[in-house]
Chains A and B, each alone.
Chain A
């Protein structure tokens, strides 16, 4: 079902351009020859481990490290006090005990005054082996004075709530963003309020309200976070091998944090074992490995274990939403209003564009055409790990897509209207693009109804509804759930989007060697997306050079140009566009060289894949490989034309790209046990031009599994004492092969009008779109019991409770 045009095939059997092509990187991975951070071993390397707080909130009275220091094999034990004594020549504070976050807050590298979440970093041991370092942790004696923790975001703003950030002189648990705001709003407040008031007074209208929680989850890539740092004291060069989705951004942040000159910092992100947003943040452990090499003069490795990963590094979501929708009784949506209480944990460490403190949540108006929408987001500190923007969320579009798609189903139930019919009635029409949404987005392109009808046809929607009716008559509960989502990805236009002042454009460099082989250097960072393959295909598409003749280099700041890295589905929309643009620059230069060689004007030449030829005389031409050699050769070039074909580019996207899709899930629910079985899952995605359809489908498969996890299994919950109840894979349940169905994929192709090759991002589409489809299916199945909503994860216990009419807070331990 690919919509890719037939392209010529290279000698190696690869498409010269777009098409499904086996991945270049697989050759090393299937041989066990990947090179992940934990595979890096430098001569004389030391190991390290972090002592973490057992309390969610406690004052540190004293730390005794003497027994740990006396353990043979221990090289150094570092505490917050040690860090306070290391001067830092930086604008961001005078010592190393605190570091800036990506949201202009501060975070303790090692706690000095208090611990503020369970698992927070308290002391750091450097030793000759990982085992010794872990042993030494047991010998550190910390005297804590426990304080009452704030575990429930809904109690964080109570007048008597314990104050978490007294280090900043706060008297409450509100979060202030860099612009001085404590809440963040989007959309048309007055228009929305008026629309709700009018609907309330109109007997032909309905208003449906629902409290909807997107609970705290964790990206949990298979490889945990870690780094190997080495400061060469003679040259002053800091080399850091690290699990990073954004090596260049991290280099700049380390320069700021450590006060080290940026040209002396080299970040190498070798193979990254999955990221999903977990490897965007800068964590204390990374900084500590840098401090470790500064202190010891030797390379220091830090690799967190799984519990550390789940308990301390970037969580995702934790959005408590009160949402309401107004519509006419015949199903025309009029307005949507959402209030969000956002739990950011103990430090505001969200990784998102500066001007968007709630990320892109305000795309919550969804895929429907109505005039009024408004949201108000109120972030709070709690005694939980920091983070919030991670797990393939496209900067919180996960929460946005979930709330609107849940709300639309609640409305359908209220109106007793088929949820497919309700959606079809409200979808934005193809002729309305570019479409300005009620919260100000400019959706670039879409054929929503076509995509939705394809999904319905693939799943056999009408037949399923008939089956459902028959089964209900027999007391069997199957459900059909639909989700239609629109994302805005590819951040972003630098006039509105930056992280810590760094504009979100991406650089790229293309060199064409004399023999016509090429090297493409990227700023973005694969964590499994297959950049080494797809980026070669983009250049191949533009220049006709076979993909196997194009080497893609990434993951080393010394070898690649600056750019902000891979997250928010931005690699294809931003860096993929840069690859196209830089290849076109090479093509333009090749035209001039070819014209000189063919003794004609560049205007007389015409391009076909891989060669310039004289218009009207197709035999007279030069291939890109011939031109590459000529450009390095003795050919007299026209005035002002330098030799070589090499080019660089920086791509500043004019707008985001807006991938979308329609997902339909079919479940069977056992009302006696609450057990949910996903019978089928149909996913129709439209991500514009597909560079490598095989890889696009793989990206979708992975995101759909995320959806199964979040909808049915995954949860980071806490008890009232602050204990993390999802701190290992025994408790944080991830979907296996048994929970995931045999995905059925379809596609429509509506190219982005402003992207050079019409491509949109797709890496997070399925994670964004699938949870609502699954939850909608489960609620549809159990709606005969009077259930209109229940919060994720829909574990058997939670489904059973919902059926009993007794739903509970899923994110807090209950007696």
Chain B
């Protein structure tokens, strides 16, 4: 079947098997490899991206279900050559080590701040609680998202 999905503002059209997972479509058909795949059971959240502005674990969704929808991936966070504050926060606060969970964590962090510009640490922990990081022990991820809250961008990121 043919699907057309808008990813980071660009339309991607591809002939796919109906069973194809969205994470595989993004990585293989769209060639965007910043979205990672880390488990079989939707527990780890490494594949988190936005569908119509909401964070979704892209291994839980078929690409066919995203036909006609708009996706934002980690590659879409940087705007006009300027990193999103969340991306800057992860660098500033050592919010990543191996980098594998980082894309998903940043997508969730950005989505949280769009809804709640000044979250508490507890609210941040709650927001990322469906995602696993094996390197950082989470403290610096929380700090990174707080950094972004304290240093908002001049320009809004749009889905």
Contacts and interface: CB of A to CB of B under 8 A. Distances in A.
Interface of A: 22-23, 25-34, 36, 38-39, 131, 220-224, 271-274, 276, 305-307, 527-530, 694-695, 697-706, 728-730, 734, 736-738, 740, 742-743
Nearest to B106: A30
B94 A30 contact: no
B133 interface: yes
Q: Which secondary structure characterizes the binding site on chain B?
A: loop
A273 B125 contact: no
B137 A702 contact: yes
Interface string B70-95: 00011101100001000110111010
B102 A30 contact: yes
Contacts of A306: 38-41, 44
A688 B40 CA distance: 41
Contacts of B115: none
Contacts of B103: 32
Given A23-B91, A31-B87, A698 B138 contact: no
B45 to A, nearest CB: 9
Contact of B102 (A29, A38, A220): A29
A274 B102 CA distance: 12
Contacts of B106: 30
B135 A528 contact: yes
A222 B100 contact: yes
B1 interface: no
Nearest to B35: A32
B49 to A, nearest CB: 10
B156 interface: no
Given A39-B33, A271-B99, A734 B40 contact: no
B37 A38 contact: yes
A695 B93 CA distance: 10
A174 B83 CA distance: 58
A632 B118 CA distance: 56
Contacts of B90: 26, 30
Give the size range of B's interface with the partner.
Answer: 35 or more
Contact of A26 (B96, B124, B134): B96
A361 to B, nearest CB: 24
Given A306-B41, A743-B139, 4 more contacts: A38-B36, A223-B100, A737-B126, A737-B129
A212 B106 CA distance: 41
Contact of A527 (B44, B73, B98, B141): B98
Contacts of B77: 31
A702 B74 contact: no
Nearest to A733: B43
Identify the 5 closest CB pairs spanning chains A and B, nearest first.
Answer: A32-B34, A528-B98, A273-B100, A29-B99, A701-B137
Interface string B116-159: 00000100111011111111111111100000000000000000
Nearest to B37: A38
Contact of A528 (B43, B46, B99, B139): B99
- Looking at B40, B78, B97, B140, the one whose CB has the most chain A CB atoms below 10 A away is B97
10 contacts: A38-B27, A222-B46, A700-B137, A702-B134, A702-B135, A702-B137, A728-B43, A737-B141, A740-B138, A743-B137
B64 interface: no
Contact of B132 (A25, A697, A736, A742): A736
A32 B33 contact: yes
A33 B38 CA distance: 17
A698 B135 contact: yes
A26 B95 CA distance: 9
A32 B104 CA distance: 10
Contacts of A738: 125-126, 129
Nearest to B128: A737
B101 interface: yes
Contacts of B19: 131
Given A30-B102, A32-B35, A728-B41, A701 B46 contact: no
B12 interface: no
B132 A222 contact: yes
A700 B131 CA distance: 20
B5 to A, nearest CB: 17
B51 interface: no
A742 B142 CA distance: 9
B56 interface: no
B96 A30 contact: yes
A704 B91 contact: no
A713 B131 CA distance: 16
Contact of A23 (B74, B94, B134): B94
Nearest to B74: A32
A701 B94 CA distance: 11
Given A131-B17, A306-B41, A736-B132, A31 B78 contact: yes
Contact of A32 (B32, B126, B138, B142): B32
